[in-house]
Structure 1
């Protein structure tokens, strides 16, 4: 079994988001406030599933990687993609989308 296969769901999503952002493990760790001497090892342990970070650290990782924290925990790939898309929407677009989902379409949003 490879490291990628044995990694936790959180770890796989973290590694993917970090690579997408093109941030090395050590730089990401330092960016979220980890000691520079242990930052790379800590991020590696999160990515491989050896440890899962406390939610406070997950929030810092999400902010640094510009993804919603919920993305790290989505079991379903389609839902994970929706969470990423939601994170890219403006507040106004989120409001319009919520109305659509509630069955109350906003004509200005539909006509875009």
Structure 2
């Protein structure tokens, strides 16, 4: 069974949504201007994978949570972003609601 790395897909989606070029994104997170575009291109093509520190810088710059890059489907990616925007009390309420719903459906 093959596995498609979600990082390149998520990175490209978030970058385009932020309306940034590959070069601009790379420069914003501290890459050298001359290598920013080729390096970001390699990340988006899946030829290389950014280390976790670079992914965190990218997440911060693009306004997405770190776990967004690891979501294997669109719904999970969207949920990751929505949950990241919630307050701690809203997250706790969501957890309680989901747990209650699951228990109700198992009964």
TM-score by length of 1: 0.78
- The number of equivalent residue pairs is 98
Give the CA deviation at 1:66: 0.4
| Cα distance in 2, alignment partners of residues 93 and 36 from structure 1 | 41
Gaps of 5+ in 1: 1-6, 104-112
Is the helix fraction higher in 1 or 2? 2
Question: Helix, strand or coil: the match of 1:38?
Answer: helix
Question: Helix, strand or coil: the match of 1:15?
Answer: helix
- CA RMSD in angstroms comes to 1.8
Gaps of 5+ in 2: 101-107
Question: Helix, strand or coil: the match of 2:33?
Answer: coil
Cα displacement string for residues 56-106 of structure 1 (whole angstroms, at most 9, x for unaligned residues)? 111110010000111111113221221111122223322321232343xxx
Q: Which residues in structure 2 correspond to 1:5-84 (within 5 Å)?
A: 8-84=5-81
Runs of 4+ in 1 over 3 A off after TM superposition: none
| Cα distance in 1, alignment partners of residues 13 and 74 from structure 2 | 13
